Amino acid sequence: MSLNAESTAFRSALEVIRAVEPRVADAIGAELADQRESLKLIASENYASPATLLAMGNWFSDKYAEGTVGRRFYAGCQNVDTVEALAAEHARELFGAAHAYVQPHSGIDANLVAFWAILADRVESPALKKAQVRQVNELTEADWFALRRELGNQRMLGMSLDAGGHLTHGFRPNISGKMFDQRSYGTDPATGLVDYDKVAEAAREFKPLILVAGYSAYPRKVNFRIMREIADEVGATFMVDMAHFAGLVAGKVFTGDFDPVPHAHIVTTTTHKSLRGPRGGMVLCGPELADQVDRGCPMVLGGPLPHVMAAKAVALAEARRPDFADYAQRIVDNAQALADGLLRRGAKLVTGGTDNHLVLIDVSGYGLTGRQAEQALLDSGIVTNRNSVPQDPNGAWYTSGIRIGTPALTSRGLGTAEMDATAELIHNVLTQTTPGSNPDGTPSKAKYVLDPALADKVSGQASELLTGFPLYPAVDLG
């Protein structure tokens, strides 16, 4: 019996790897088996297509290509130019952007490129002007001191971490929190929703250089038209990090006021998550910031990864197909069905539901911390991640929330009926899990008690639910 192209490709790749380091080949095969058997509900994960995965394993990995298309610091980059130009073309057409920079290795890298592009464009200092026109080795120590002082004193206003913002939006553990004088806006304590009047008040008082919108755990749409108006009022550059919901923008589920590209000065994103591409980043902007953004390498980035840019080109081409819009809409339909199923069973959800791809469960209603709930669900074949909720009493490590998302299960073909069944499994596990105790008898925020028989039963039910929706059905590793 002859194998299809996908099976042949992946079997052959594993045979070649096995000949050198069989343990790596085994781990790759085990990862596919694990993903096939578990309910993947991590909102930031997805399944890239076989074509996208295969585009990363080739000779482009061997090439250095600092610079941009047609302006490289290494010779022999004509084929890299081809794939980078294709990825940028697909990105511009897909999102309606004037300029696309597809070199960032991750979302953090994309944000760093955006930050430095804004700083270089906006900060009027003699040291910065000198740095832009002279060779780096011509700058004196006094020049560098003035430059560091000028750039380090700029202000950023972004969504707070417990309200659903991201570490890269100015929080101290991240480099963005060390680069900027940062302040956060939160959400309405009663509704969990962004209060645009409060954001405007904070912007008028703080007068940031950069106003950041975007989120990693906010289950609603953001009105980017209003946010741009706030930025314009205070003279801020408006930046949107759409890493989580880029697929919903690409699939035209988020349009008008909820599409960030027409409203923001600069937009960053990852290329995985709901966009269903390789792990990587991207920056979109208008012509006024394009030159600064294209200096991402060597300003912030090391050498581009041509093999990943090739995979980005493939994934972005896939996202331009008509069926991607249907996929994006089903992501939201599934998330809302999952939220409705949880609400009917008595779960407490941040904002009471969702408009996008994710749902945030406040597990304090089950008497648990996020860490306890996360591990109990994992024991039961349901992969999630703990997450802070607004004004979280348990902090960012133990948390009081569980974040779940539907991009990956939607890629497998599960629909709204399966989302209701998934809600039942989650609810069953959380209602049957109780907090554990430390050795001295005090309550533990990490330990929990769950009957192993129940965990095994739910795990079997999760596996049965997935039976009709095989992952990578064209790939048979034998």
Active site residues: 64, 66, 241, 270, 273, 279
Helix (H) or strand (E) holding 449: strand 443-449
Find where tokens 């008040």 sit.
Answer: 201
| Local structure of 221: helix, strand or coil | coil
Q: Are 140 and 312 in contact (CB under 8 A)?
A: no
Helix residue spans in 302-441 (DSSP H): 306-319, 322-344, 370-379, 395-398, 407-412, 416-432
Q: How far apart are CA 397 and CA 18, in angstroms?
A: 38
416, 337 contact by CB (below 8 A): yes
Amino acid at site 272: H
Q: What are the Cα distances from residue 254, in Å, to 100, 110, 113, 216, 344?
A: 19, 21, 25, 16, 27
Residues whose CB falls within 8 Å of the CB of residue 177, separated by 6 or more in sequence, listed in order: 170, 171
Tokens of 446: 């990490």
Strand pairing of 99-101 and 281-285?
antiparallel
Please enumerate, as own/partner, the contacts of 426-429 that have beta carbons within 8 Å and a separation of 24 or more. 426/342, 426/347, 426/361, 426/377, 426/382, 427/342, 427/345, 427/346, 427/347, 428/454, 428/458, 429/376, 429/377, 429/380, 429/382, 429/454, 429/455, 429/458
Q: Could you give the CA distance from residue 242 to residue 254 in angstroms, rounded to a whole number?
A: 11
- The answer to whether 434 and 418 have CB atoms below 8 angstroms apart is no
